[in-house]
Amino acid sequence: MERQRLIFHIDVNSAFLSWESVYRLEQDPGGTDLRTIPSAVGGDTKSRHGVVLAKSPLAKKAGVTTGEPLASALRKCPGLAIVPVRFGLYQKCSKQLAALLENYSPTIEKFSIDEAFLDMTETIHLFGEPAQTADQIRRRIREELKFTANIGISSNKLLAKMASDFEKPDKTHTLFPEEIPDKMWPLPLQELFFVGPSAADKLRRIGLYTIGDVARCDERVLKAHLGSKFGTMVCRYANGTDDSPVAGHEPANKGYGNSITLPRDVSDYETACQVLLALSETVGARLREDNICCSCICVELKDWQFSTQSHQLTLDAPTSSTAVIYQNACRLLREFWDLTPVRLIGLRTSRTADSSYEQISLFESSQSRKMKELEKAVDKIRGKYGIDSIKRASFLKEDSLVDHAVSKKKHLTPCTQERNSEDQAP
């Protein structure tokens, strides 16, 4: 008989703040644990620019929210301790978590820097009951890695992720199909994965307030108000339906991309190009890390009215160069943007291929070759000493809208994600 699927979703509690706290206590065992005081990770502590990427429980109690400007957070909580972002450290902690999880299943999908799915269907018999196994994993994370995580258990990825968002921190929760009416349907509809403020507002206007309301609603009504594709997906999710597999390995032809919701609307090329530079840095570094080149670049904008537009181009030759990606992204921006204020800027690459088989160009200049070597050297330095060990001068300005390193996001399905991980820039 075919076994019922068993999926674990592991979600680190206040990841960036927890990892920063662990690091600081390792350096100074007698120091203050950031998790025990009103504190937040994000932005520039001197200029107080940027947004909150993670906050402590006491900061949350004071009204501080993930994604809000630091200036606003400080007004709510004047004594808020702000610490800078340290992506190199977070990547190291994320890898340590992945190494621990590999002891339980070979099928692991890294959903974001602080989240992962485990397909335990074929391995659970080696460890015992699902809840006991999840508790064991949490205990090992707490004792060996010194931070905590929630674990959600179900028969599919959607319900496992929903379960991990229940009471925090350091808890195990189940949400199997038979538990949906009691555990999921009474929740506010905005708690449903992929239902953001805009979609929630549309649903409330037609009298839907809980996930259960949406689940019982005629799919045709949802499609009429949310669009055919998104309406169908929301209907399926509200009923706990999701058949997406735990993807143990990224497909070879998968595109690489990143986007960021800005702390304020942008309406000038100079600022928008600086954001594209930050995105190009992270996308280019990921391409080089995986020995991948791209042949297509796409820039996406979402304006202040939430309207989305994009433009793309095909390169003359495949590349993984940050400089080439950035130059072409800026070119695209000038071609299609009319300076309407934008709240989100995204950069995507596609038509990817293994760079081991990259064709050598007869027309490549010595300057281009030197740039490739420079980018490889920067990658090596950041890999050894952390992402903040070297940065471009343009990101040292006090009025810089974004940091030079923008954390990456990943989607449960190929749709556009409205909701963000607790510890990621929205």
Q: Where is the domain boundary, 87, 110, 141?
A: 87
Catalytic machinery residues: 115
Are residues 387 and 271 part of one domain?
A: yes
Are residues 371 and 265 part of one domain?
A: yes
pLDDT band with cut points at 50, 70 and 90 for residue 43: low
Are residues 369 and 263 part of one domain?
A: yes
* pLDDT computed for residue 393 by the predictor: 59
* pLDDT computed for residue 362 by the predictor: 41
53 C-beta neighbours (distance < 10 Å), count: 25
* pLDDT computed for residue 346 by the predictor: 92
Phi, psi of 250, deg, nearest 5: -70, 140
Q: How far apart are the first and last CA of the chain?
A: 43
* pLDDT computed for residue 108 by the predictor: 93
Q: Report the share of the chain in percent with pLDDT over 90.
A: 52
pLDDT single digits (tens) 221-250: 999 999 988 999 999 999 999 989 998 655
The answer to whether 164 and 152 are in contact (CB under 8 A) is yes
Tokens 């709240």 sit on residue: 343
pLDDT single digits (tens) 301-336: 998 777 889 999 998 888 888 999 999 999 999 999
Strand order in the sheet with 108-112: 108-112, 115-119, 7-12, 149-154, 172-174
For residue 205, the enclosing domain spans 185-238
* pLDDT computed for residue 426 by the predictor: 29
Contacts of 343 (CB under 8 A, 6+ apart): 261, 262, 265, 266, 302, 303, 304, 306
* pLDDT computed for residue 394 by the predictor: 58
**Alpha-carbon gap, residue 149 to 2, rounded angstroms:** 31
> 302 in a domain, yes or no?
yes
Higher pLDDT, 411 or 186: 186
The arithmetic mean of pLDDT across residues 150-159, rounded, is: 96
What's the pTM?
Answer: 0.63
Whether the per-residue pLDDT at 263 is higher than 50: the answer is: yes
Give the CATH number for residue 212: 1.10.150.20
> 305 in a domain, yes or no?
yes
Q: Total domain count for the chain?
A: 3
> 152 in a domain, yes or no?
no
The answer to whether 155 and 161 are in contact (CB under 8 A) is no
> 228 in a domain, yes or no?
yes
Percentage helix, strand, coil for the chain under 3-state DSSP, each rounded to 5: 40, 20, 40
Are residues 269 and 189 part of one domain?
A: no
* pLDDT computed for residue 395 by the predictor: 58
Copy the structure tokens of residue 350.
């596609």
Give the CATH number for residue 41: 3.40.1170.60
